[in-house]
Amino acid sequence: MKYLIDTGLSPEIIKKLEAKYDESTLDLLKIERDNVIEVINYFKEIGIKDIESLFVTYIEIFTRDVDDVKNAFNKHNIKEVVEKINDDIFYIENI
């Protein structure tokens, strides 16, 4: 899962994921690598700051197709939603 570090996430993210999730979930991250990278890049692009906390808490978002994630955000005012997520990552549950 070195690719996560290559996207700019800290090396500690792998330890956090390994501590929280089982092997099958971690395998899914490897299988869905391209989607994970695209979602991380999209979140950076729209200005989400605490991607690591989102990743550890809502791992399933990152394995979804990036177009599905974008469509979910496009149903809302992206700037407003990003501000709310940056204030409280749990706001993403409203998307």
pLDDT at 1: 86
Name the token pair of 71.
Answer: 């469509």
Residue 7: strand, helix, or coil = coil
The span from the CA of 31 to the CA of 72, in Å, is 23
pLDDT tens string for the chain (95 positions)? 899 999 999 999 999 999 999 999 999 999 999 999 999 999 999 999 999 999 999 999 999 999 999 999 999 999 999 999 999 999 999 99
CB 51 within 8 A of CB 40: yes
pLDDT at 9: 96
The span from the CA of 16 to the CA of 56, in Å, is 7
Contacts (Cβ under 8 Å, ≥6 apart) of 65: 35
